[in-house]
Amino acid sequence: MTDLVNLTIAEALDLLNKKEISSEELTKAHIAEMEKGRVLNAFITETPDLALEQAKASDEKRAAGSALGALEGIPIANKDLYCTKGVRTTAASKILSKFVPPYESTVSQKLKDAGTVMLGKLNTDQFAMGGSTLTSYFGVTKNPWNLDLVPGGSSGGSAAAVSAGLCMAATGSDTGGSIRQPASFCGVTGIKPTYGRCSRFGIVAFASSLDQAGPMARSVKDCALMLGAMAGADDKDSTVANVPVPDYTLALTGDIKGKKIGIPKEYRLDGLNPDVAATWDKGIQFLKDAGAEVVDISLPHTKYALPVYYIVACAEASSNLSRYDGVRYTTRVDGDSLDEMYENTRTDGFGDEVVRRILLGTFVLSAGFYDAYYTRAQRVRRLIYNDFIEAFKQVDAILVPAAPTPALSAEEMKNMKPVDVYAGDVFTTPASLAGVPGLSLPIGLSQNGLPIGLQVIGKHFDENTVFQVADVLEKLANFDKTPRRVKG
């Protein structure tokens, strides 16, 4: 059973198709691991009965020789921002703690159609606002590499569950780094695709011009398989691009000879963690060894990315979260008037970080400050976008760190000022603002034995090159992807 939870999706599909294992066996192994791993607090809602029902149906399809989905019989889990019909969806908040959607998100439906088995819903920072899962109403998730550390966020439950072998892959969402940073902290692979590659329909919104669905898994190939099933046009979401979805696995050629990879000087921050800097240098050497040409480039407006991101994201959050009023589908706290009921419901239902971001967003959108903050931030966002467009005239991809440090302790993060916590997104927000794809994969370990990831950034809708470069890095890094087991 332990061997089954160490498999990659590609390996499991091969065994399933050869009928050497069944989806039911694979699912039972992960359910057992899920039960052992509850100390991690990776799941908000577990659905073992549903998973076994889906696994049995998958096995019956194979036995009957029916047409199979691309991920037929693979047990995964969904970040608890994805609406799942008939299964509680909370966004890790009190205000949605009893919400059971009557509909399915497009991405989770696509994964169901591809034959996946759903083990449950994974913990996240509340409304995806945070980089640690400390803001979750359901408590912090623990990092499988060290239970005193956070797994990153907001997709911390997804990263921890994949790392610990509780599921074979997971959905995440990335607004300013919420897939890439926890992937680095937990030693797994995760990709934020191009904005518009995946539908946002049915995903609880944080910042609508930034939110993007993406997969987290144990290998580059597994992420390629997952994204192939998740991506595509959707009539329910006008922001999805109607462009073909290639077979990303065909990009994993193992050859990047002649590719030009950019190294932006602006990411060489003063005081950069030495282990992260050394891992970045190691990744650069891997690229040279593989025959790629490493090119120094400049992304001159990078220093403005963090403030621009937090202005834009908070403004959009303020607008999106105004729908939670206690009238329709949220937990309600009554008052003597309608306004008082709104106030009581939101005061009780939203956590401190969510309130902080709503207030910041409302402030920058207010009449006296709109032009000074929001309009100016949007103009600078365009300059950041233009930086990437110019850079990609010279190079095929860009290599940078995914996070400025390895995983931090929960205690350390609790005592940090919010602005210092936000600084953890320094390497991920530029790509988010530009809408370009970025993939984080584990390259090595810190001196304390913690995983460190690097980020491959590509051109709009060129996830193929991102996967191609990441696949070569993965092979050369030879990182031990065996999920760390929870002790005790």
User: Hey, which residues are catalytic here?
Assistant: 79, 154, 178
Residue 58 CA: distances (Å) to CA of 29, 87, 170, 375 = 16, 20, 19, 51
Residue 256 CA: distances (Å) to CA of 81, 250, 437, 465 = 36, 14, 18, 9
**Bridge pairing between strands 212-217 and 189-192:** antiparallel
User: Which 3 state secondary structure label does DSSP give 118?
Assistant: strand
User: Which 3 state secondary structure label does DSSP give 422?
Assistant: helix
* Phi, psi at 210, each rounded to 5°: -125, -35
Which helix or strand (DSSP H or E) is residue 14 part of? helix 9-17
Q: Which residue type occupies 72?
A: E
* Cis check: omega of the bond before 154, within 30 degrees of 0: yes
CB 61 within 8 A of CB 113: no
**Tokens at 107, concatenated:** 């991405």
Which helix or strand (DSSP H or E) is residue 36 part of? helix 23-36
* Phi, psi at 350, each rounded to 5°: -100, 140
The CA distance from 344 to 397, in Å, is: 49
Instruction: Show the beta-strand stretches assigned E in 228-298.
Output: 260-264, 293-297
Residue 311 CA: distances (Å) to CA of 5, 187, 301, 428, 435 = 42, 30, 16, 16, 16
Chain mean position to CA 192: 7
Residue 134 CA: distances (Å) to CA of 125, 219, 423 = 6, 27, 16
Q: Which residue type occupies 167?
A: C
Q: What is the DSSP letter of 406?
A: S
Q: What is the DSSP letter of 443?
A: E
Burial-class residue 284 by CB neighbours within 10 Å (0-12, 13-18, 19+): middle
The CA distance from 282 to 327, in Å, is: 54
**Tokens at 205, concatenated:** 């919104």
CB 486 within 8 A of CB 40: yes
Residue 195 CA: distances (Å) to CA of 39, 189, 240, 265, 432 = 35, 19, 8, 25, 8
